[in-house]
Amino acid sequence: MISFYPGPSQVYAQVPQWVQEGYDAGVLGMNHRSEAFQELYESVIRLMREKLEVPIDYTLYFTSSATECWEIIAQSFTQKGGLHVYNGAFGEKWAAYARKLRPLSLEMPFPLEGSPRAQEWAGEAPELLCLTHNETSNGTALREEVIADFRHHFPNALLALDATSSLGGAQLPLEQGDIWYASVQKCLGLPAGMGVLICSPRAVDRALWLDEKAHYNSFTSLHKNMLMRQTTHTPNVLGVYLLKRSLEHIPPISETAHLLGERMRQWERLFTPHCPIKPLVAHAALRSLTVLPLQGNAELITSIKHQALRRGFLLGNGYGPWKETTLRIANFPAIRTEDFTALWKYLSEELS
Ligand SMILES: *Cc1c(COP(=O)(O)O)cnc(C)c1O
């Protein structure tokens, strides 16, 4: 069976081999205060720079998930709270978690077929902006102009972006943001159980100045440990190792993004006026590169998912308000292009 679920998702076919090699090399029981772990950490940093274009002065931390990053960002990077800008379920969840820690957090929902406008909040001076780069629930992504617009209107605010389902797939404007994070079970094609947090020097300075220390995962301790290429607690060492192996394996991000773009264009040929399903997001410019939700009547959506599964294609369910009337297809790099084409062929025959 091939999974097109947008998380947890199809992992790289090489994962079993990497696990075996990690086991043989003694990685699974590796001490996280050892020199070997420090070298492993260091090589992930180097590979993130090489393959994913992480700027040289940005720092990298391992967390357990994107959800953990939501809390770390609220607790360690804000005093009063940030401004949360979102159009879907994940952005809304982030805001909900942040509100519990920082009740004065602000929220700015925007419509599915629109772009948020920084100008509308020009009167505010938020300390932190929270944007979802790739909204996995509805398959929208923020264009670079939107990110630049927020940067421009709020020069003093830190800019945090959730790239959980785009890091590793899309070419991200990392320099434009201060805090980026993702978990590994989406676009990075690895088993769930780890997240990565990437910070600009400005973000680091701000958090060290706030010096919040109430939690095991307070940024000050993450940073102190990172400087020694260590972690606050015993981390998912296998996850770190698999991240290293997958980063060695993948091409530079510009190539990956190009390939994913070609694959998305192939899908567009499916949506003729007669096709009973269509992309949830009508404006192509607002669509995500990595997650494609398709909309149709609820019965048809259920039947497509069911039939596809019998052919060995697991399609993703809709999410939140779009649960019944959409299905989601992940366009993640760990899914091979030939599998993608096979699904495309199958659906175009079924739906024509
Ligand atoms: C999946 C997802 C999350 C949550 O990831 P966890 O690893 O479960 O914490 C957060 N944000 C986005 C955009 C996601 O797609």
User: Position of tokens 């010096």?
Assistant: 211
Q: Locate the ligand 1 atom nearest the alpha carbon of residue 132 and give its number.
A: 13
For the beta sheet containing 291-295, the strands, ordered from the edge strand earlier in sequence to the opposite edge, are 278-279, 291-295, 326-330, 316-317
pLDDT at residue 352 tops 90: no
Which residue's CA is the closest to the ligand 1 atom numbered 4? 66
* 160-179 confidence digits (pLDDT tens): 999 999 999 999 999 999 99
* 5-56 confidence digits (pLDDT tens): 998 999 999 999 999 999 999 999 999 999 999 999 999 999 999 999 999 9
Looking at residue 72, its pLDDT comes to 98
Q: Tell me which residue of 178, 166, 168 sits closest to 219, measured CA to CA.
A: 178
Looking at residue 274, its pLDDT comes to 87
Looking at residue 293, its pLDDT comes to 97
Kindly state if the Cβ of 179 falls inside 6 Å of ligand 1. Answer: no
Which residue's CA is the closest to the ligand 1 atom numbered 10? 66
Kindly state if the Cβ of 137 falls inside 6 Å of ligand 1. Answer: no
Looking at residue 202, its pLDDT comes to 98
Tokens of 54: 């992480």
Kindly state if the Cβ of 232 falls inside 6 Å of ligand 1. Answer: no
Looking at residue 123, its pLDDT comes to 83
Question: How much of the chain, in percent, has pLDDT values that exceed 70?
Answer: 100
Kindly state if the Cβ of 67 falls inside 6 Å of ligand 1. Answer: yes
Looking at residue 122, its pLDDT comes to 78
| Distance from residue 174's CA to the centre of ligand 1 (Å) | 19
User: Position of tokens 């398709």?
Assistant: 294
The 3-state DSSP class for residue 106 equals strand
Kindly state if the Cβ of 183 falls inside 6 Å of ligand 1. Answer: yes
- Tell me the β-bridge partners of 181: 162, 197
| Ligand 1, pocket-test mutation among 136, 161, 172, most atoms within 8 A of CB | 136
Looking at residue 332, its pLDDT comes to 98
φ/ψ (deg, to 5) at 53: 60, 35
* 84-134 confidence digits (pLDDT tens): 999 999 999 999 999 999 999 999 999 999 999 999 887 888 999 999 999
**Residue 145 CB neighbours (<10 A):** 10
* 62-86 confidence digits (pLDDT tens): 999 999 999 999 999 999 999 999 9
Q: Tell me: cis bond preceding 252? Omega within 30 of 0 counts.
A: no
Cα–Cα distance measured from residue 225 to residue 235, given in angstroms and rounded to the nearest whole number: 12
Cα–Cα distance measured from residue 284 to residue 271, given in angstroms and rounded to the nearest whole number: 12
Looking at residue 92, its pLDDT comes to 98
Looking at residue 272, its pLDDT comes to 85
| Distance from residue 273's CA to the centre of ligand 1 (Å) | 34
For the chain, the C-alpha Rg in angstroms (whole number) is: 20
Tokens of 105: 């957090």
| Ligand 1, pocket-test mutation among 62, 130, 186, most atoms within 8 A of CB | 186
| Distance from residue 131's CA to the centre of ligand 1 (Å) | 13
